[in-house]
Amino acid sequence: MIVKSIKTPLVKVGDNINDIISQSIKTIPENSILVVASKIVSVCENRLVKKVEGTKEEKHDLVKKEAELYTDPHSSKYNMMLTVKHNFVFVNAGIDESNADNQYILWPKDPQKSVNNIWKFVREYYKVKNFGVTISDSSSFMLNWGVVGRALTYCGFNPLRSYVGEPDLFGKTMKMEKTNIMQSATDAAVLEMGEGSECTPMAIVSDIIHPVEFLDHKPTKEELDKLKINISDDVYYPILKDSNWHIGGSF
């Protein structure tokens, strides 16, 4: 697998994400996945909220509006809120303050619509047939310091590679194993993109050894739902069920 980060101009409100892509990338190979940081998509969409100096609770109020479920910030040593949004557990509903110029950057309003539009543009502009896109964000890793790349959503490929029914090394039939291609490719890309002042908010993942099933259509609701696990069926349910969740504004 080859991961190549893409340097771009500093993205500003009013910029068009498709223009940023076309100005920054000369060619895109077949059978590749473009990973785009959610932050630059949000900036293009003007998903910014100016900070109010001296207002300690403003971010908490904003998280409550953006989240589907949230925990009390005072239950965290770091005064942060665990949240559920778009079937993901993120801190503070993904609201970011880094590289934000004294503003809060929210997730794109509709990440699926955003990624679908990017996929459509790239396919037409670069004349690629087998191609995928994900929108990324960074998230903490339970019981470990540091953040890893996470995909908020995808377009143009099957995000799961199932091993169910196949034999393992010793002939045992696998019953649950699935590789999350969407998350794996995105994590590798975010490692190359960086978290600071690199100004490389995109990356192309290509030459993936294990086969990826590329699709010629935007994902249907049924296809998107295949990625989701009901909270009661999740292996982390013993932890999730005991959290003191409150219903947020985007539920």
159 located within any domain = yes
The total number of structural domains in the chain stands at 2
pLDDT band at 56; cut points 50, 70, 90:
low
Residues 145 and 202 reside in one and the same domain: yes
Token pair belonging to 250: 């985007």
Give the whole-angstrom CA distance, residue 209 versus residue 2.
10
The parent domain of residue 205 ranges over 1-47+107-219
State residue 251's pLDDT score.
76
The average pLDDT across 115-131 equals: 98
DSSP three-state, residue 38:
helix
67 located within any domain = yes
Residues 74 and 198 reside in one and the same domain: no
Residues 71 and 161 reside in one and the same domain: no
Domain containing 32 — which CATH number? 3.30.1330.100
63 located within any domain = yes
The average pLDDT across 224-239 equals: 94
Residues 56 and 129 reside in one and the same domain: no
Give the whole-angstrom CA distance, residue 121 versus residue 19.
10
Report whether pLDDT(112) > 80: yes
State residue 54's pLDDT score.
58
121 located within any domain = yes
Give the whole-angstrom CA distance, residue 147 versus residue 14.
29
Structure-token match 């192309």, residue found: 204
Global pTM value: 0.95
Q: What is the percentage of the chain residues whose pLDDT exceeds 90?
A: 90
Residues 16 and 74 reside in one and the same domain: no
23 located within any domain = yes
Give the whole-angstrom CA distance, residue 69 versus residue 147.
22
Give the whole-angstrom CA distance, residue 24 versus residue 9.
8
233 located within any domain = yes
β-bridge mates for residue 85, sequence order: 88
Residue 204, CB half-sphere, CA atoms under 13 Å: how many?
17
224 located within any domain = no
Residues 42 and 56 reside in one and the same domain: no
State residue 1's pLDDT score.
96
Q: What is the pLDDT of residues 153-211, one digit of tens each?
A: 999 999 999 999 999 999 999 999 999 999 999 999 999 999 999 999 999 999 999 88
pLDDT band at 55; cut points 50, 70, 90:
low
Q: What is the pLDDT of residues 10-45, one digit of tens each?
A: 999 999 999 999 999 999 999 999 999 999 999 999
